[in-house]
């Protein structure tokens, strides 16, 4: 098993610290708003990673944290006149709704930063004893960046190139502008539920120290895999390394994984550009209530979004654009059409087969899902050609390893999607309920039985214009799907 290591900048062999066990920590969400598409890519990418490691037989302990104390959370709470835990609980529930929609399995542990403050204080005390932390005149406790010799080894930046992270306000009280905060002294206007007692006075932890404490408390050091989004490599992960290794020595993690950026029409997704989209905006129904964390989603669109993410390599830059979404929808629909036409059985994967071996070889090469998906397409084409139910069953079973192709085909094909026709939407189709479509089909069948083929053809054409495709199958039955 080879994995690209952001630390060594090459593919390294996975060598677990403990035989057959994997300790994986992934930086999760700061829960002050709904998850966006960049989060979707991170969630799905590392879901595939942990699924495949378990498939190989590893005993995986997957930890993905929740940051529930942060400046952005405090600003949201103040703006909405709510307590911090009300804000964070709501958006954590909303994140879980997004995970369910995208078929993302829950991590084994989902620690919240506010429950690990004591562990953070202990790390800060160890850093202070090692001469790497100091309390400045404004009450903050900071990390001495220039005193940690390996600072910059993950990001590859020299000290001269570095700037304080975007969440860090440079203070005149710091010994060096590069020093980052470990503990923030509270201010009078701060909400009471954002304050903790500590040896350094009343305050709250800095963002970076949170993950150092949570990963150590739950998994120890070194981690087998530490992962996160592309924007976390610097400064967050760089600072995690400095904190954990500066306090306790050794290595924080043996392998560092970062998924690639998600672009929108070739521009980086951002609120300032107006191309910022949440997961629920893309796959949800038009009846989403922003005051409710859970929501109804179009299963066909949710499957499309996961398929869209998985068929690209997790490290590649991925462009979220209408044409790409249409292409993904057409592709995943082909799989379900094949499953619906040829049929399938629930089977175990035959890892001795040539297709499964090719799939495994791709996944063992740094989770190369594009090549693994190519194997599935090859199986689909062959199974369709030869009407091979057993091969179609194996294809579906392998798809399950990636978290796709697990819906019942007929139910899936009847579900709604806005992304099935290039440059168009299916608004007319969504107006037709399943019962209404069945009624039209019954009327068409009666017309055919009465040899009124003109009326039967007219009903077929009307349904097609409304985004409904009919297929006459054996036994005089008619199947339908939304196109």
Dump pLDDT digits (tens) for 205-218.
999 999 999 999 99
Structure tokens at 283: 């796959």
Q: How confident is the model at residue 169 (pLDDT cuts 50, 70, 90)?
A: low
In the chain, the percentage of residues whose pLDDT exceeds 70 is 94
Q: In the predicted model, what is the mean pLDDT of residues 29-35?
A: 96
The rounded distance, in Å, linking the Cα atoms of 237 and 241 is: 6
The better pLDDT of the pair 435, 395 is held by 395
Q: How confident is the model at residue 283 (pLDDT cuts 50, 70, 90)?
A: very high
Q: In the predicted model, what is the mean pLDDT of residues 393-397?
A: 98
Q: How confident is the model at residue 166 (pLDDT cuts 50, 70, 90)?
A: very low
CB neighbourhood size of 76 (10 A): 19
Q: In the predicted model, what is the mean pLDDT of residues 385-400?
A: 98
Structure tokens at 269: 């997704």
Average pLDDT, the chain: 91
The rounded distance, in Å, linking the Cα atoms of 439 and 44 is: 39
Q: How confident is the model at residue 422 (pLDDT cuts 50, 70, 90)?
A: very low
* Alpha-carbon distances, residue 266 vs 196, 229, 263, 308, 318 (angstroms): 43, 18, 5, 16, 9
Q: Is residue 450 scored above 90 in pLDDT?
A: no
pLDDT single digits (tens) 235-264: 999 999 999 999 999 999 999 999 998 888
Q: In the predicted model, what is the mean pLDDT of residues 372-385?
A: 96
Stretch among 151-165, 388-402, 420-434 having the lowest mean pLDDT = 420-434
Sorted by sequence, the CB contacts under 8 Å of residue 246 that are 6+ apart come out as 127, 130, 132, 143, 148
Q: Is residue 1 scored above 80 in pLDDT?
A: yes
The rounded distance, in Å, linking the Cα atoms of 368 and 242 is: 31
DSSP conformation letters of 354-392: HHHHHHHHHHTBT--HHHHHHHHHHHHHHHHHHT-HHHH
Residue 482 and residue 429 in contact, taking contact as beta carbons nearer than 8 Å: yes
The rounded distance, in Å, linking the Cα atoms of 481 and 419 is: 14
Q: Is residue 167 scored above 80 in pLDDT?
A: no
Q: What is residue 160's predicted lDDT score, i.e. its pLDDT?
A: 77
Q: How confident is the model at residue 481 (pLDDT cuts 50, 70, 90)?
A: confident
Q: Is residue 112 scored above 50 in pLDDT?
A: yes
Q: What is residue 385's predicted lDDT score, i.e. its pLDDT?
A: 95
Q: What is residue 323's predicted lDDT score, i.e. its pLDDT?
A: 81
405 CB-contact burial (10 Å; exposed 0-12 / middle 13-18 / buried 19+) = buried
Considering Cα of 129, then 135, then 139, then 142, what sign does the dihedral take?
negative
The rounded distance, in Å, linking the Cα atoms of 3 and 49 is: 10
Q: In the predicted model, what is the mean pLDDT of residues 165-174?
A: 62
Provide the annotated binding site for Zn(2+): 27, 211, 236, 240
Q: In the predicted model, what is the mean pLDDT of residues 197-224?
A: 97
Q: Is residue 191 scored above 90 in pLDDT?
A: yes
Q: Is the fold of 2-263 the same as that of 322-414?
A: no
Q: What is residue 429's predicted lDDT score, i.e. its pLDDT?
A: 46
Structure tokens at 108: 């084994």
Q: What is residue 408's predicted lDDT score, i.e. its pLDDT?
A: 95
Q: Is residue 432 scored above 70 in pLDDT?
A: no
The better pLDDT of the pair 276, 470 is held by 470
* Alpha-carbon distances, residue 284 vs 8, 256, 302, 319, 426 (angstroms): 40, 33, 8, 20, 14
Q: What is residue 430's predicted lDDT score, i.e. its pLDDT?
A: 44
Provide the annotated binding site: 27, 211, 236, 240, 271
Q: In the predicted model, what is the mean pLDDT of residues 272-280?
A: 79
* Cis amide leading into 329 (omega within 30): no
303 CB-contact burial (10 Å; exposed 0-12 / middle 13-18 / buried 19+) = buried
Tell me the CATH number for domain 322-414.
1.20.120.640
Q: In the predicted model, what is the mean pLDDT of residues 345-364?
A: 98
Query: For 169, what's the count of Cα atoms within 13 Å in the CB-facing half-sphere?
Result: 8
Q: What is residue 270's predicted lDDT score, i.e. its pLDDT?
A: 63
Q: What is residue 44's predicted lDDT score, i.e. its pLDDT?
A: 98
pLDDT single digits (tens) 113-148: 999 999 999 999 999 999 999 999 999 999 999 999
Q: In the predicted model, what is the mean pLDDT of residues 9-17?
A: 98
Residues in the chain: 483
Nearest to 444 by CA among 435, 434, 454: 454
Provide the annotated binding site for ATP: 271
* Beta bridge partners of residue 473, listed in sequence order: 477
Q: Is residue 168 scored above 70 in pLDDT?
A: no
Q: Is residue 272 scored above 80 in pLDDT?
A: no
From the centroid of its chain, how far is CA 206? 25
Stretch among 80-84, 223-227, 274-278, 405-409 having the lowest mean pLDDT = 274-278
Question: For the chain, what are the domain ranges?
Answer: 2-263, 322-414, 434-482
The better pLDDT of the pair 418, 133 is held by 133
Q: 3-state DSSP call for residue 322?
A: helix
Nearest to 308 by CA among 45, 26, 4, 64: 45
DSSP conformation letters of 239-297: HHHHHHHHHH-S-SEEEEEEPPPEEETTEE--TTTT---BHHHHHB-TT--TTSS---B
Q: Is residue 419 scored above 90 in pLDDT?
A: no
Sorted by sequence, the CB contacts under 8 Å of residue 51 that are 6+ apart come out as 105, 401, 402, 403
CATH number belonging to the domain at 2-263, selected among 3.40.1640.10, 3.50.50.60, 3.40.50.620, 3.40.1010.20 = 3.40.50.620
Nearest to 468 by CA among 476, 479, 454: 479
248 CB-contact burial (10 Å; exposed 0-12 / middle 13-18 / buried 19+) = middle
């Amino acid at each position: 098993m080879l994995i690209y290591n952001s630390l060594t900048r090459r593919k390294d062999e996975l060598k677990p610290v403990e035989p057959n066990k994997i300790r994986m920590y992934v930086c999760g969400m700061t829960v002050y708003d709904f998850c966006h598409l960049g989060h979707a890519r991170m969630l799905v990418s590392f879901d595939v990673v942990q699924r495949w490691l378990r498939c190989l037989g590893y005993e995986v302990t997957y930890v993905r944290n929740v940051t529930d104390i942060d400046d952005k959370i405090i600003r949201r709470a103040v703006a909405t006149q709510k307590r911090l835990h009300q804000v964070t609980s709501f958006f954590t529930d909303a994140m879980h709704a997004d995970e369910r929609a995208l078929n993302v399995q829950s991590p084994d542990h989902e620690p919240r930063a506010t429950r690990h403050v004591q562990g953070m204080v202990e790390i800060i005390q160890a850093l202070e004893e090692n001469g790497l932390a100091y309390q400045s005149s404004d009450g903050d406790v900071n990390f001495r960046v220039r005193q940690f010799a390996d600072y910059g080894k993950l990001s590859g930046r020299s000290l001269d190139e570095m700037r304080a992270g975007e969440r860090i306000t440079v203070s005149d009280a710091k010994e060096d502008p590069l020093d980052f905060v470990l503990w923030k002294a509270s201010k009078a206007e701060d909400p009471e539920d954002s304050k903790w007692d500590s040896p350094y006075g009343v305050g709250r932890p800095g963002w970076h120290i949170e993950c150092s404490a949570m990963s150590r408390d739950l998994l120890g050091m070194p981690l087998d895999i530490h992962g996160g989004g592309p924007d976390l490599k610097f400064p967050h992960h760089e600072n995690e390394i400095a904190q954990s290794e500066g306090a306790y020595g050794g290595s924080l993690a043996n392998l560092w994984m970062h998924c690639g950026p998600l672009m929108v029409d070739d521009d980086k997704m951002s609120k300032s550009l107006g191309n910022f989209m949440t997961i629920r905006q893309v796959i949800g129904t038009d009846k989403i209530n922003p005051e409710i964390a859970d929501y109804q989603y179009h299963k066909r669109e949710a499957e499309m979004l996961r398929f869209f993410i998985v068929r690209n390599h997790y490290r590649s830059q991925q462009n979220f654009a209408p044409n790409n979404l249409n292409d993904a929808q057409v592709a995943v629909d082909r799989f379900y059409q094949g499953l619906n036409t040829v049929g399938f059985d629930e089977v175990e994967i035959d890892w001795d087969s040539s297709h499964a071996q090719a799939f495994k070889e791709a996944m063992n090469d740094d989770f190369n899902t594009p090549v693994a998906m190519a194997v599935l397409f090859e199986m689909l084409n062959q199974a369709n050609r030869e009407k091979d139910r057993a091969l179609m069953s194996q294809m579906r079973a392998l798809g399950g390893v990636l978290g796709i192709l697990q819906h019942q085909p007929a139910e899936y094909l009847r579900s709604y999607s806005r992304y099935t026709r290039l440059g168009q939407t299916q608004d007319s189709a969504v107006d037709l309920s399943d019962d209404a479509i069945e009624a039209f089909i019954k009327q068409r069948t009666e017309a055919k039985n009465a040899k009124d083929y003109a009326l039967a053809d007219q009903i077929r054409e009307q349904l097609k214009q409304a985004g409904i495709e009919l297929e006459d199958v054996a036994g005089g039955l008619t199947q339908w799907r939304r196109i």
